[in-house]
Amino acid sequence: MNPQAIAKLRRTFIVIAMASFFVAIVFMGSATFVANIVAVRTQANNTIDAIIDAGGKTPTQENYHGRAFQEEASYGLRFFTISFDDRGNVVDIDLSHVSLVDADEALELSETAADPSDLVRLSRHDNYFYKEGPIGNGTMLVFLDCSFQLENVNEVTFNTLTLTVLALVVALIAVVAFSKRAIQPEIENARRQQKFMTNASHELKTPIAVIRANTELTEMLSGETEWTQSTLNQVNRLEGLVRDLMTIVRGQEHGDAGRETADVDVSAVVGQAVDSFKGMAQQAGKGLESTVEPGVTVRGDDSSIEQLTCLLVDNAIKYCDEGGSIDVRLAPVRFGRGCSLAVTNDYAEGANVDYQRFFDRFYRADESHENQQGYGIGLSVAESICERYRGSIKATWKAGKITFTCILKDA
């Protein structure tokens, strides 16, 4: 695993950890705020009911009917009442428990009160809750000042937000400090895999070379036969597999380190690579067309772009339906510097295929093409090349055709 991949994995871990912590702490803060508002409304509702039961006077334990009651606190209540007769006419205004509201203001507020049978907050800018209830032959409208309770809610909310910000900063420092240790098992696992692939690739080279030499010697002594040709074909396949494995290992271990880059004429490289496969496609009875826009360039190296094109075209020819066609398109990206390489081929049975697994090493889902050569590693190599160019590769299927689209940027 190269330094770029390790850094990317570490960033991913930090983002996921911080996102999870952020969601949890926002949920706790929101729940606290809602719980406080509900508590204030419940207390206001109970208090107004008690005031109405007390006939507009300071409530007592008897009026609370078993609800939570603090007698000393009840004498600090600030409220005013407006009494109406059975025809809705004002018969009394009691301002003895409030000093900042006069009779005219009380009447004006009573006229704006809507649906007071349920607890209502006067407005978003005021701290009064009001409610109407029956008393004698008429009704009483009670306005209760809850500014103290709402100020406490606002203070708790502010403190919660402040602590949330501080907690996020502390969590970020802690996550960054421990992130490398947290992903270390994954890094070690990737390194073991790379070491195995490197060792296996090197160990395979010697027996492959011996088998090739022995087979070629047998042909020199006894002549060429179908058995020697079959053996050499399998040797060629194994050599291709070893090359692909080494390509992946080198890309993962070193990334772009030590790789010389320059402006590459992608149009020319892709055009030449496609032309080299036209004979192969014709022999397989499949059409091969290309639409390559001229002058497309990226910073990188010719060999990797040529390898990417060859992998995709070769894969398309192998898995294209009988008598089908392959289409290669190259165009610059709409914004910025880079290009889009798309290879399409007929693939009628691709409606229910998991295309993301195509990029898994050694994965081969198409049983109808089992006679095709390959180890299911080519697309994994293509993906590693796209990552080296800070791009991406994806597979899509529509109307009987599968398309592999690569986005390449400056390496």
Note the helical H segments in 223-277: 226-254, 266-275
Gyration radius (Cα) of the chain, Å: 39
Token reading at 46: 């109970």
Residue 53: what pLDDT?
86
- Give the mean pLDDT of the chain: 82
Which residue do the tokens 């339906």 mark?
321
Is residue 327 predicted with pLDDT exceeding 90? yes
Calculate what percentage of the chain has a pLDDT beyond 90.
Answer: 25
Note the helical H segments in 255-402: 266-275, 278-283, 302-319, 378-388
Label residue 405 by pLDDT band (50, 70, 90).
very high
On whether the CB atoms of residues 384 and 247 are closer than 8 A, the answer is yes
CA angle, residues 273, 278, 283, in degrees to nearest 5: 140
Is residue 231 predicted with pLDDT exceeding 80? yes
Measured from the Cβ of residue 99, the count of other Cβ atoms closer than 10 Å reads 9
Mean pLDDT score, 101-127:
74
Is residue 263 predicted with pLDDT exceeding 70? yes
Tens-place pLDDT, residues 163-204: 999 999 999 999 988 888 888 887 787 777 777 777 777 788
Label residue 287 by pLDDT band (50, 70, 90).
very high
| Higher pLDDT, residue 109 or 32 | 32
Measured from the Cβ of residue 196, the count of other Cβ atoms closer than 10 Å reads 11
Residue 373: what pLDDT?
46
Residue 304: what pLDDT?
86
Q: What are phi and psi of 331, to 5 degrees?
A: -150, 155
Mean pLDDT score, 83-91:
87
Query: From the centroid of its chain, how far is CA 404?
Result: 22
Tens-place pLDDT, residues 357-382: 676 655 555 544 444 444 456 787 88
Residue environment code for 364-381, b if the CB has 16+ CB neighbours within 10 A, otherwise e: beeeeeeeeebbbbbbbb
Lowest mean per-residue pLDDT among 80-84, 180-184, 307-311, 322-326? 180-184
- Which positions ≥6 away from 289 have C-beta within 8 Å? 325, 326, 327, 328
Q: Which amino acid is at 2?
A: N
Mean pLDDT score, 334-347:
90
Helix axes 3-53, 147-222, angle to 10 degrees: 150
Judge if pTM exceeds 0.85: no
DSSP-assigned letter for residue 138 = E
| Higher pLDDT, residue 353 or 399 | 399
Mean pLDDT score, 330-353:
87
Token reading at 143: 């306005």
| Higher pLDDT, residue 253 or 333 | 333
Label residue 226 by pLDDT band (50, 70, 90).
confident
Residue 20: what pLDDT?
92
- CATH number corresponding to 262-408: 3.30.565.10
Residue 374: what pLDDT?
43
Token reading at 197: 């692939």
Mean pLDDT score, 260-275:
89
Token reading at 332: 């610059």
Residue 368: what pLDDT?
46
* DSSP of 57-85: S---HHHHTTS---HHHHTT--EEEEEE-
Mean pLDDT score, 55-70:
66
Is residue 254 predicted with pLDDT exceeding 70? no
On whether the CB atoms of residues 106 and 145 are closer than 8 A, the answer is no
Residue 372: what pLDDT?
47
Mean pLDDT score, 285-296:
92
Mean pLDDT score, 259-277:
88
Tens-place pLDDT, residues 19-62: 999 999 999 989 999 999 898 888 888 888 888 888 888 877 66
Lowest mean per-residue pLDDT among 83-92, 107-116, 146-155, 273-282? 107-116
On whether the CB atoms of residues 127 and 146 are closer than 8 A, the answer is yes
Is residue 162 predicted with pLDDT exceeding 90? yes
**What ranges do the domains of the chain cover?**
3-152, 262-408
Is residue 122 predicted with pLDDT exceeding 80? no
